[in-house]
Structure 1
């Protein structure tokens, strides 16, 4: 016989079945409870106690729970560990359920499905990074990628064939990727750090997408938003459908979709982003990345804009020049920049406050954020004035026209609103007369009663009249029988209603007193009800101006980024690059911002270097040789970073820079095993190199370091040689190619556009000194043995390595490159390596026992009196003398 589930557990199981693939947070009073497999999984993930509640099918039901007031922190942990969470709230007052009968269950339903790509809570988001939800759709031979950040309202779409998907995901770094069932993109999603979520094919229906998007934006046609392909509509529609599912009909405040052109930005693949550490260091985290070194923004929106610009540098010259002009304008006016940054530092995150209000997850503090942001917007517009760069002029226009909204919020809100509307106390005194009176009753009930009592005394002339209260009658008027006769007679009897007669007193009430009593008893709830109504009206007023408010938020981010770039250029000595549509790449005094920042902290200077890859119509390639630790990799990376900063619209770490538009940036610097895919270091290197050779066009910039190092010497040299020839003859691009194969320096005489460069070193008394200077010419050796000694290899190993190196070099001189001599044969005549015999430890001398030690051993502390112990101590000291 099996036991039947209780009504509550039956409800839980029904809700759980309707929301597969998600943990169910089931609201029970002040806790979200989980049962069965959900409880087991959640208790392990959250490290909370697993308990039991009742039985099901003869077995105890596992159970765990989290407090409602602390749910966000637990949600964050679960989301980071890959869970999705369905939140089931109580949809009615438990008292209503009791009225239906003892077995009735409080109505509950899922109000939201929390997933990595649909977060809006401030505590669950990184303030300075976007939280993108992406969707990839394929309709016949067309493909598209759409992405949205519901916390800021951004929505974009672009054509995206399958080969372009990995680079675009690397650029966006979405938290969640929607794909149609049967389309396996889990590996791509994992590489981008996203959770892959499969959706039914109907979610990607392009015809249904028109209806979904129309409902989302409350329009009858999408023509006003531009023209979209069927694949783009399918991707956008999948996002709209998923938001409807996860938000349970409470759709976010998204801006109309923007179509991005595929060639509008510099293409940077995932490996290049990782190698250059643009937004995340190789060690993990933001610290040590490019963006950490250059981020001078003071607002969260400005930081997110900076990340977008670095992730996708523009190829539009007008945009680049306009952004540069804004930075230059602020750089030339240090006082204005300082004032702007001070005002911007008081701007809250308007976009995310607006989004929470639209999703009915906001509170009074979000209204306060809108007020503060719009107030600063008006002030910043006034600072910018009329004489400014076009980008700043456009921003200033978007920052004005919000006076009515500011005045409304100023009048309605207290200076420091609370977080939650349900707590009340956020509406300013004097804004709502009814609320003021209700608060007075709530907070000053005794005073109100006293004033009413004084009014009644004046009306009746009865000085002994009192207004009292008890639990039976509530509030009542009491007077003596003698004075009561007056109140029972006309005209006072029309106002004073007899309620009770006692031995010595007669009690009355009035209509006003009864109403006042009701108002006092209900004052707290009534005050909260009035404030909630005010809150709803204020939210409606804000959302009515959501478009202009959002535009102002974007303008503030633009000003913040320009001011941040100007501050960076002023403090670090950066310069405005010349950017055009040529094939130039001339850098004078270039520096690596991350390395320079680290050296500055240590009090060490950074050695700047020039780079010139300008060669007209022919390829321009520098073949860079020199020892490890001399700075080759830094030199390679800094030039790639300068190209990114230039096309992002910022200034660059150089004394002069001329950058012809870079269409694609490829960097293969450093490598590691990819154990998840079963790839060795060499295989990873070859895969990345293949991607470069197959994709790089003549406007690309390619950075290659140590191609072929993961295999045998002659194999590696052959591969590196062939790659160099392919770059020169087929790709015909600008490139920096670092290698330890010194034989390749001969290519400068065979290939047009190839020049040799080397990182200079100096030897002094057997030591190698790294000068970190890049000069024209070729290195004659790699100084690997010297570097090994600096790294701390045992002296015997270093000496043996020198012997072997001398033998190999002498053999190469005799036989030449590619000669018949085998490396082992060249060292056959060397004596075998012998480890130095260990130095025997000297036998420890047996310590002699001193008289002090003998006396101490003879003492028995437990048997000594205090006086004897003191005397013994003096005796021992005398022995030392």
Structure 2
């Protein structure tokens, strides 16, 4: 894990031990004045890498120099530190490449403070005055080049009190600001996994963050899905005090009470939100971040997915390569705007539990599917909408340029086209776009009248404002054009006056305007010609009038640029004042974009609208895996049915290796998740009950860093499921107990399956190679056996990938090994060994003999029987 506390960063200093001096380990009086100042500034920003302007470079010293030399692959040099100090570490970057290097460091999880010269070195007496003018941290960047367009960049703050926790998070680029609170510590890590914050703030007196986010009593396992190197910053506990945080929220949003924000009684969430705001004020001292008013939410309002489930279902990235291609998001993302891409990710990672909200999304998708013309028109117009959320944020923070305002102008005009397109629609999602806010309509006209069609990036070089936008500006331009025309005519005029046809008038940024003649012609020139410069083949001259005209031209040009800049600042301020309105419209546009994309997927992939209910039954007819089917040629994927929660709560699924059991498990989980995010699902028909949680345990890996074997990871994940699942949960288990001895594994698998079916009655698919578990269906009435069937030929088997009732009695593992390419002699020997094992195995026989006949037909129809089985009174 990575921390912005650079005191903890290792120093790699090569062979020069003299460079190992830290800024906080030396008598300041011995340092040179500049290094004293550097150390003092570093004390004020201890959790950042301090880049200090020295001439044409931004230099770092002491431990910061070692860090950036390592991370940026720079040469680590040294600088004399002062009397009796010796050389201290130094590394720097050119000032013109600062943004590029800062971007690289932020991507690596570091915070950076930029200390600039704030006075002219020529005017300075002694040390040039310097101050920190900007702070870049992973969670607070606004620069578009440092952000991923289609995913949020969250800054989170966490406060812990016993088992209770408070969480606040914000995206400073979009203005989103939310907070939550919980009483179960195990819920915190999955929520942070969902958010994937770029930076997390903790009070410095909090428990060790490296262990804080690890669930379970021992706190030994970092939850899968959380970044292996997340960035956290330790802050003063005073920033998170209840009184300080409350006052900060009231001041920021100009309120008298927190009731309107929904956090009056959520003290931990309030503390986290206040600490986050304090941090933003410190990192953006020269900017105002236009956050939306804080909104609170409760995890119980959404389908809960733990870290393992998110990883196993491969929602936003594949579990093996960590790539976007092959994830569920890749399979369903047809959005055309960056805002829509971010919203789809949020819907996917936070499915709903409210049936009405889900059906509202379904209704909008159905309306789009019924109107092909509407889909085409919306798609065409949405392609002309820029990232309104982030553009509004940059304008509100004072960092937007003229091209940003032009993008807003063009987007506002497209809003009128969208409002026309949704006339006659019925879904509330579309009706929010039916009327363009008058303020934005007026602002769009103002921007169109003021800005040129394609403004330049630079703000102080003119060329931004359209002719006619300002009479004063037009007058200055006219005067400037007259002065420029004088210089254009000067060459012809001087050639006529001197009789030198080769005379030229030139200009350089260093020398300004000049008159150039060859050295051979530099005789008998007019007396008002004053030699300025002698070159190898020419002489350069100026005249008094030329210099006066030049001064007037430059003065007029500077005044013109300044006036354009002032007009631009006024436009940007007008946009900033409408930031909240812009973001409301952006949210509506993003929702329509997501729904349009889901409708496109439903049409072209053959998805159906699932009928959702509050009961427990899940019936999917001819369901398909949404990702795998897109990775195969059309028609190659074999669909299958799923029935849970009716006659059977627990499905024991057996079948060969590589036959598709794991794919089937993930398929069921993804269909359930898609249904609860409001999407249509890949099936021919679906009637589905809402789930409160989805649990998956599909595959396992070693966690060598914490000493956890594959089997221990498996047991930890299984324990989490059994401790948190309910009768409204969907549980998908694959190969429980296979990581230990056969008898131990079979016993664990049997006990886990029995607990899920009897005690929890959770809707469960239990894929296993322990064929003995098929006997559970003879004992418990809410258990059913299913198998993935194969077709056996004399020398091989064919996987049919069909799930049908009944239990398999073979796993065909040796055949799977043959398909994987094991040598023929190994396959042959394995078959010989297997024949001997089957001949002498007593496992199944022993299990049956130890099961009393009186329990074979036992049922769990009555609470008494369920209680007896749960308590172990009925043994088998």
Band the TM-score falls in, shorter-chain normalisation? 0.7 to 0.9
Aligned partner of 2:811 in structure 1 is: 782
Is 1:607 aligned with 2:646? no
Is 1:185 aligned with 2:212? no
Q: Are the equivalent residues in 2 in contact too, given 1:441–1:448 (CA < 8 A)?
A: no
Aligned partner of 1:569 in structure 2 is: 602
Once the two structures are superposed, the pairs formed by residues 166-205 of structure 1 within 5 Å of their partners are 166-182=189-205, 183-187=207-211, 188=213, 191=223, 192-193=226-227, 194-205=230-241
Once the two structures are superposed, the pairs formed by residues 694-709 of structure 1 within 5 Å of their partners are 694-709=723-738
Aligned partner of 1:279 in structure 2 is: 316
Match of 1:241 among 258, 278, 281: 278
Q: Are the equivalent residues in 1 in contact too, given 2:484–2:553 (CA < 8 A)?
A: no
**Unmatched 5+ stretches in structure 2:** 1-26, 215-221, 491-504, 514-527, 529-543, 850-876
Q: Are the equivalent residues in 2 in contact too, given 1:398–1:548 (CA < 8 A)?
A: no
**Distance apart, 1:294 and its partner CA:** 1.1
1:421 aligned counterpart, secondary structure:
coil
Aligned partner of 1:128 in structure 2 is: 150
> Residues of 2 paired with 1:246 and 1:279: CA distance?
30
Match of 1:90 among 114, 117, 125: 117
Is 1:761 aligned with 2:790? yes
Aligned partner of 2:778 in structure 1 is: 749
Match of 1:209 among 212, 227, 245: 245
**Distance apart, 1:598 and its partner CA:** 1.2
Quick check: 33-42 or 529-538, which moved more? 33-42
**Distance apart, 1:365 and its partner CA:** 1.9
Aligned partner of 2:139 in structure 1 is: 117
> Residues of 1 paired with 2:847 and 2:795: CA distance?
30
Once the two structures are superposed, the pairs formed by residues 478-489 of structure 1 within 5 Å of their partners are none
Once the two structures are superposed, the pairs formed by residues 700-719 of structure 1 within 5 Å of their partners are 700-719=729-748
1:396 aligned counterpart, secondary structure:
coil
**Distance apart, 1:535 and its partner CA:** 1.8
**Distance apart, 1:158 and its partner CA:** 1.2
Aligned partner of 2:44 in structure 1 is: 18
**Distance apart, 1:51 and its partner CA:** 3.8
> Residues of 2 paired with 1:446 and 1:423: CA distance?
16
Q: Assess, with a 3 A threshold, how the Cα gap between structure 1 residues 370 and 790 changes in structure 2: closer, same or farther.
A: same
> Residues of 1 paired with 2:268 and 2:208: CA distance?
18
Once the two structures are superposed, the pairs formed by residues 603-642 of structure 1 within 5 Å of their partners are 605-615=636-646, 620-642=649-671
Q: Assess, with a 3 A threshold, how the Cα gap between structure 1 residues 554 and 815 changes in structure 2: closer, same or farther.
A: closer
> How far does the alpha carbon of each residue in 1:583-617 deviate from its partner, in whole angstroms, 9 at most, with x for none?
121111111111111113xx66111111011317x
Aligned partner of 2:258 in structure 1 is: 222
Q: Are the equivalent residues in 2 in contact too, given 1:704–1:738 (CA < 8 A)?
A: yes
Match of 1:733 among 735, 754, 762: 762
Q: Are the equivalent residues in 2 in contact too, given 1:367–1:409 (CA < 8 A)?
A: yes
Q: Are the equivalent residues in 1 in contact too, given 2:790–2:800 (CA < 8 A)?
A: yes
> How far does the alpha carbon of each residue in 1:86-111 deviate from its partner, in whole angstroms, 9 at most, with x for none?
1112323x1xx53353x241x22112
Q: Assess, with a 3 A threshold, how the Cα gap between structure 1 residues 388 and 640 changes in structure 2: closer, same or farther.
A: same
Quick check: 55-64 or 782-791, which moved more? 55-64
Q: Assess, with a 3 A threshold, how the Cα gap between structure 1 residues 439 and 31 changes in structure 2: closer, same or farther.
A: farther
Aligned partner of 1:270 in structure 2 is: 307
Q: Are the equivalent residues in 2 in contact too, given 1:381–1:399 (CA < 8 A)?
A: no
> Residues of 1 paired with 2:385 and 2:592: CA distance?
12
Once the two structures are superposed, the pairs formed by residues 82-481 of structure 1 within 5 Å of their partners are 82-92=109-119, 94=120, 97-101=121-125, 103-105=126-128, 107-138=129-160, 142-161=164-183, 162-182=185-205, 183-187=207-211, 188=213, 191=223, 192-193=226-227, 194-228=230-264, 229-248=266-285, 250-282=287-319, 283-397=321-435, 402-442=440-480, 444-447=482-485
**Distance apart, 1:813 and its partner CA:** 7.0
2:681 aligned counterpart, secondary structure:
coil
Q: Assess, with a 3 A threshold, how the Cα gap between structure 1 residues 404 and 112 changes in structure 2: closer, same or farther.
A: same
Is 1:27 aligned with 2:53? yes
> How far does the alpha carbon of each residue in 1:105-126 deviate from its partner, in whole angstroms, 9 at most, with x for none?
1x22112322221121111111
Q: Are the equivalent residues in 2 in contact too, given 1:438–1:519 (CA < 8 A)?
A: no
Is 1:588 aligned with 2:621? yes
Q: Are the equivalent residues in 1 in contact too, given 2:109–2:198 (CA < 8 A)?
A: no
Aligned partner of 1:855 in structure 2 is: none
Q: Assess, with a 3 A threshold, how the Cα gap between structure 1 residues 682 and 377 changes in structure 2: closer, same or farther.
A: same
Quick check: 712-721 or 367-376, which moved more? 367-376
Q: Are the equivalent residues in 1 in contact too, given 2:28–2:36 (CA < 8 A)?
A: no
> How far does the alpha carbon of each residue in 1:215-255 deviate from its partner, in whole angstroms, 9 at most, with x for none?
32244443433343211211110111111122226331100
TM-score, scaled relative to structure 2? 0.82
RMSD: 2.9
Q: Assess, with a 3 A threshold, how the Cα gap between structure 1 residues 710 and 355 changes in structure 2: closer, same or farther.
A: same
> Residues of 2 paired with 1:815 and 1:9: CA distance?
78
**Distance apart, 1:414 and its partner CA:** 1.5
> Residues of 1 paired with 2:112 and 2:35: CA distance?
19
> How far does the alpha carbon of each residue in 1:478-507 deviate from its partner, in whole angstroms, 9 at most, with x for none?
xxxxxxxxxxxxxxxxxxxxxx9xxxxxxx
Q: Are the equivalent residues in 2 in contact too, given 1:395–1:558 (CA < 8 A)?
A: no
> Residues of 1 paired with 2:364 and 2:42: CA distance?
55
Q: Are the equivalent residues in 2 in contact too, given 1:441–1:519 (CA < 8 A)?
A: no
Q: Are the equivalent residues in 1 in contact too, given 2:460–2:565 (CA < 8 A)?
A: yes
Q: Assess, with a 3 A threshold, how the Cα gap between structure 1 residues 31 and 329 changes in structure 2: closer, same or farther.
A: farther
> Residues of 1 paired with 2:472 and 2:32: CA distance?
47
> How many positions carry a matched residue from both structures?
762
> Residues of 1 paired with 2:396 and 2:765: CA distance?
50
Q: Are the equivalent residues in 1 in contact too, given 2:416–2:436 (CA < 8 A)?
A: no
Aligned partner of 1:75 in structure 2 is: 102
1:118 aligned counterpart, secondary structure:
coil
Q: Are the equivalent residues in 2 in contact too, given 1:72–1:124 (CA < 8 A)?
A: no
1:119 aligned counterpart, secondary structure:
coil
Aligned partner of 1:858 in structure 2 is: none
**Distance apart, 1:815 and its partner CA:** 8.0
**Distance apart, 1:197 and its partner CA:** 1.8
Q: Are the equivalent residues in 2 in contact too, given 1:179–1:196 (CA < 8 A)?
A: yes
**Distance apart, 1:435 and its partner CA:** 2.5
Q: Are the equivalent residues in 2 in contact too, given 1:351–1:550 (CA < 8 A)?
A: yes
> How far does the alpha carbon of each residue in 1:319-371 deviate from its partner, in whole angstroms, 9 at most, with x for none?
11111111111111122112211211221111112212222222112212222
**Unmatched 5+ stretches in structure 1:** 453-467, 476-499, 501-508, 821-881
> Residues of 2 paired with 1:201 and 1:638: CA distance?
46
Q: Are the equivalent residues in 2 in contact too, given 1:134–1:145 (CA < 8 A)?
A: yes
Is 1:645 aligned with 2:683? no
Q: Are the equivalent residues in 1 in contact too, given 2:669–2:732 (CA < 8 A)?
A: yes
Return the index of the structure with the highest Cα Rg: 1
> How far does the alpha carbon of each residue in 1:350-408 deviate from its partner, in whole angstroms, 9 at most, with x for none?
11122122222221122122222222222111111133312221243466752101001
> How far does the alpha carbon of each residue in 1:544-563 deviate from its partner, in whole angstroms, 9 at most, with x for none?
11111110111110010010
Is 1:771 aligned with 2:800? yes
Aligned partner of 2:68 in structure 1 is: 42
**Distance apart, 1:412 and its partner CA:** 1.3
> Residues of 1 paired with 2:760 and 2:588: CA distance?
40
> How far does the alpha carbon of each residue in 1:718-742 deviate from its partner, in whole angstroms, 9 at most, with x for none?
0000001100112111111100000
Q: Assess, with a 3 A threshold, how the Cα gap between structure 1 residues 449 and 814 changes in structure 2: closer, same or farther.
A: closer
TM-score, scaled relative to structure 1? 0.82
Q: Are the equivalent residues in 1 in contact too, given 2:695–2:730 (CA < 8 A)?
A: yes
> Residues of 2 paired with 1:217 and 1:329: CA distance?
38
> Residues of 2 paired with 1:144 and 1:590: CA distance?
40
**Distance apart, 1:53 and its partner CA:** 4.5
